[in-house]
Structure 1
Amino acid sequence: MQPIGILLLLAVVTTGVVLVVRLLRHRRARPAPAGAGRPSTIDVTAELPTFNIIALGAQETGKTVLLASMFHRLSTELREGGFRLVTGLEQAADLTDLYATLRDPGDAWPPGTMIGQTRSFSFDCVGTAGGRDHAVLRFNYLDYAGELVGGGRAASVPVHGRQVSQQDLEQRLDAAHAIFGIIDGRRMVDALRGGRDGQLYLENTIVPMIVLMRRAECPVHFVLTKWDLFDTVGADEDEENDRLELARKELLSYPPIRNLVEQRRRTHKIVRLIPVSAIGRQFATMTEDGHMVKLPHGRLRPVNVELPLCAVLPDLFAQVSAKLDAAVERKIAEESRALSRLSLTETMSAVGRFLARPTGQAVRLAADLAVGRNVFSEQIVGTFLDWIGEPFEAKAREVAQAIDDAHRSADQIRLARQAVLEEFRENMVVLRRQLPASDLTTWGVR
């Protein structure tokens, strides 16, 4: 071969190697797909029913600490057989680092949400059946920046920037399945004691939040943080409901909040007041100047941090059920039992056919009236049918002879989902029994 030919051949080969290396680097550099980093033992269905949560709250309300504490509890600390949360490696690492900062007595408190720092998290809710973990539904959690609801350093944000963010938030509210209104417990305690700072906080931060909440059709949950600070507020230590009743009365003394609750009560929409503590009662103390200081040997024992998430589906489905009459509910229960004999692929087709029939159209209309248009996807309709229908008899299903692997897998996923739904339901029953003041609209849920 001539020298020129050899040089050309070497050039072609070298170019090819470079292209292959670049291609491999490009592939390795691609972002991980949704669900990457989750343990391989978790079975994930093709399309999980997804529920959108929006957390509203001004700066320094405890939103960040609450989120880290909630994730830690729901990913590592729940009892055997209970549901748990999983997320991608990057988000899990961020939340774990936040929790490590929180629990370290020698470290500062975790930094809060900065101006303009709206964050989105995606959590898969995992249940267990047949000896395996199954992802049965998904929560999309949007932690909106504090300046959008007033308070903090909102005045430093450019007006145009606030308007654009506000428009984006309003669009997201239309697609939300739950709104979390985060209330700073320290400022609420100050308001209960007649402090002017606490009263100004409710007037200038919580009341403006109501304007956004009135736009939403979905359930509204006021999440009262720093519940550990309420032990000295006007009630004995064991009378938690009395303390919550004081906070409830204070909130309802403001006409915009009271009007929101009354309006939602008339239309059978839910408003809750859920007290939580990301640290518990034995981890920190408040100084005379109002600052929280970690105790050198404090014990981190969060309180109720899982309850806001557990309330999402029961309250959402309760609002839809309130728009259905008893005969339609019985028909839906029959449809649900029929669907339980299908594989997951067959179920999705069957849900589409169900929605085309009169009963399905009644569900769609009820959902539109209860939580707004285009919020109930077919996947969520399938979960709603599970909720309305009688729970599976786990032992009977486990010993039944499945038609094939697809049906056996579907049975296990349904069992896992039913276990998760039942746990949500039980948590709400306990909440209503122990803290009846938590239901601001005082009408029942399933």
Structure 2
Amino acid sequence: MYTIVTLGPSGAGKTVYLAALWHMLKLEHPRLKCYLKPESRQQEYKLGQIYNDVAGPGEWPLPTDGNVFPEWTFSCKVKSQHGTYTALKVRYIDYAGDRLTDPQSGSSEQDRLEETLRNADALLGLLDGRKVLKLMRGNGEFLDRDMTQVFSLMQDCEGPIHFVITKWDLLAGHYSLRQIRERLMEHPDFATLARSRTDWHIRRMPIPPGRMRLIPVSSVGREFAFLGADGGMHKRDNARPRPLNVDVAFAAVLPDLVARAYDAAKADQERVRREARGQRRGWFSDFARVVASTVAAPVSTVLATRGIQVPVHLIAAFLSSGTGAVASAVNIPPSELRKARRLQRSFRKRSVNAVTDDAAAAQFVLHRLVEELQAFERSPENDGTVLS
């Protein structure tokens, strides 16, 4: 199981996003070929209730109570002709916005929050689309008022950080993701956080931090709600929600975790290479043996501890196909590497019925998530999504 903490000021749409994510993936996704199952019937009922409040004609759901700390645990399931298998488990922790923007109001829980953030596998920071719209029109005070504390808390997380711009329907067609990125980078705190992820080698960090992304999302889609003269979001009559990019924010986490594990392996490989440089001529056999442990261990351990059973040689072939360096580094026999690469190529045409156990389900879902993410990144309108 891996843990994602959602952060953002009150009203940014954290709980609505999670409800929309579950609604979109409660049935098998047509491209990902997997679905999400909440941990309990109670969680399933609660998420359904939240989404019905969003989709219905009544008021929007109330903000998260600052005295509770909702945790939503999902199993990602794959169903094939051989049975139903669990590819991975993911836990979302939803912190009330008031506890982030006004930490004094929850000082007794501040230590718990900071510890949770340090131990999180990834962070999901939500930027309220209404306030981003004001930012693009010249009023960026929300970054100082609402987000400075969030940026400060995020800097201790070494995993991926994904910023989700909610209510993207307000911005689409008026501003590009690239324009918004450039405007955000003008804020010193946001820029410092982003640059801390790109200059890790300058500071000689042993392991690169996780990737930082900017993802435009609308939990209800276009034409469902509009911004009223009072500054509030109002539902249109007889409109149906059509969530946009909600699945992309979910799809990006696992590939970025795998990529970081692989980056850690490569960093260890380089460290061993430097240490071995200048030693006796026959150092290569020792190098290969040492690197086999320092490279294979981070990838397999990091993923296995999170319930993600993906063979190291498959990850190596998947992330570095076409080179032999990885095979040498992790001491993979050439026959195994060729097998892994054939498996990698075959996944594009592979039917879900090839899944026969949980490990195969994890491999299958990993490849589907990467394809979904790559398709998103290739779209010209999403230029600027990767910040580091």
TM-score interval, normalised by the smaller of the two chains: 0.7 to 0.9
Distance 2:347 2:125 in 1: 37
Paired residue for 2:310? 383
2:198 is aligned with what amino acid? R
Instruction: Please state if 1:257 is matched with 2:190.
Output: yes
Which of residues 223, 234, 249 is equivalent to 1:293?
234
Distance 1:252 1:80 in 2: 33
CA offsets, 1:314-367, max 9 Å, x none?
1111122223349969xxxxxxxxxxxxxxxxxxxxxxxxxx985243344579
Paired residue for 1:213? 154
Residue 145 to residue 417, structure 1, CA distance change in 2 (3 Å):
same
Residue 228 to residue 266, structure 1, CA distance change in 2 (3 Å):
same
Contact 1:317 1:384 in 2 (8 A): no
Shift of 1:209: 0.9
2:386 is aligned with what amino acid? D
1:99 is aligned with what amino acid? Y
Distance 1:185 1:60 in 2: 10
Distance 2:355 2:77 in 1: 15
Paired residue for 1:14? none
Paired residue for 1:70? 21
Residue 81 to residue 140, structure 1, CA distance change in 2 (3 Å):
closer
Distance 2:118 2:137 in 1: 37
Q: TM-score, normalised by structure 2?
A: 0.78
Which of residues 93, 98, 103 is equivalent to 2:45?
93
Contact 1:129 1:412 in 2 (8 A): no
Residue 163 to residue 77, structure 1, CA distance change in 2 (3 Å):
same
Paired residue for 2:292? 359
What SS does the corresponding residue of 2:219 show, helix, strand or coil?
A: coil
Q: Which has the higher helix share?
A: 1
Instruction: Please state if 1:127 is matched with 2:78.
Output: yes
1:176 is aligned with what amino acid? A
CA offsets, 1:186-240, max 9 Å, x none?
0110111113xxx111112122211111111001001110000003524xxxxxx
Contact 2:148 2:189 in 1 (8 A): yes
Identity %: 29
Residue 411 to residue 361, structure 1, CA distance change in 2 (3 Å):
farther
Distance 2:232 2:156 in 1: 35
Residue 438 to residue 111, structure 1, CA distance change in 2 (3 Å):
same
Residue 96 to residue 212, structure 1, CA distance change in 2 (3 Å):
same
Residue 147 to residue 363, structure 1, CA distance change in 2 (3 Å):
farther
2:109 is aligned with what amino acid? S
Residue 396 to residue 439, structure 1, CA distance change in 2 (3 Å):
closer
1:260 is aligned with what amino acid? L
Distance 1:262 1:293 in 2: 37
1:428 is aligned with what amino acid? L
Q: Which runs of 5+ in 1 are unaligned?
A: 1-49, 235-242, 330-355, 368-373, 399-407, 442-446
Paired residue for 1:189? 133
Instruction: Please state if 1:438 is matched with 2:385.
Output: yes
What SS does the corresponding residue of 2:88 show, helix, strand or coil?
A: strand
Distance 1:112 1:253 in 2: 30
Shift of 1:397: 10
Within a 5 Å distance, the mapping from 1:402-441 to structure 2 comes to 411-434=356-379, 435-441=382-388
Paired residue for 2:253? 312
2:63 is aligned with what amino acid? G
CA offsets, 1:222-275, max 9 Å, x none?
1110000003524xxxxxxxx111211121111111111111012243110011
- 162-171 or 244-253, larger mean C-alpha shift: 162-171
1:311 is aligned with what amino acid? A
Distance 1:257 1:183 in 2: 12
Residue 357 to residue 411, structure 1, CA distance change in 2 (3 Å):
farther
Residue 357 to residue 148, structure 1, CA distance change in 2 (3 Å):
farther
Distance 2:261 2:348 in 1: 30
Residue 384 to residue 262, structure 1, CA distance change in 2 (3 Å):
farther
Within a 5 Å distance, the mapping from 1:139-178 to structure 2 comes to 139-150=90-101, 154=102, 159=104, 162-178=106-122
Contact 1:68 1:99 in 2 (8 A): yes
State the Cα RMSD in Å.
Answer: 3.0
Instruction: Please state if 1:84 is matched with 2:35.
Output: yes
Residue 325 to residue 80, structure 1, CA distance change in 2 (3 Å):
closer
1:432 is aligned with what amino acid? E
1:129 is aligned with what amino acid? S
Residue 245 to residue 104, structure 1, CA distance change in 2 (3 Å):
same
CA offsets, 1:129-162, max 9 Å, x none?
3342211210011001212320xxx3xx7x4x62
Q: Which has the higher contact order (CA 8 A, sep 6+)?
A: 2
What SS does the corresponding residue of 1:173 show, helix, strand or coil?
A: helix
How many residues in Structure 1 have an aligned counterpart in Structure 2? 332
Distance 1:213 1:271 in 2: 11
Contact 2:76 2:86 in 1 (8 A): yes
What SS does the corresponding residue of 1:180 show, helix, strand or coil?
A: strand
Distance 2:310 2:107 in 1: 36
Contact 1:223 1:273 in 2 (8 A): yes
1:286 is aligned with what amino acid? L
Paired residue for 2:87? 136
Contact 1:119 1:144 in 2 (8 A): yes
Distance 1:80 1:248 in 2: 28
Return the index of the structure with the highest Cα Rg: 1
Distance 2:268 2:163 in 1: 33
Contact 2:82 2:356 in 1 (8 A): no
Distance 2:268 2:356 in 1: 27
Shift of 1:411: 4.1
Q: TM-score, normalised by structure 1?
A: 0.68
What SS does the corresponding residue of 1:127 show, helix, strand or coil?
A: strand
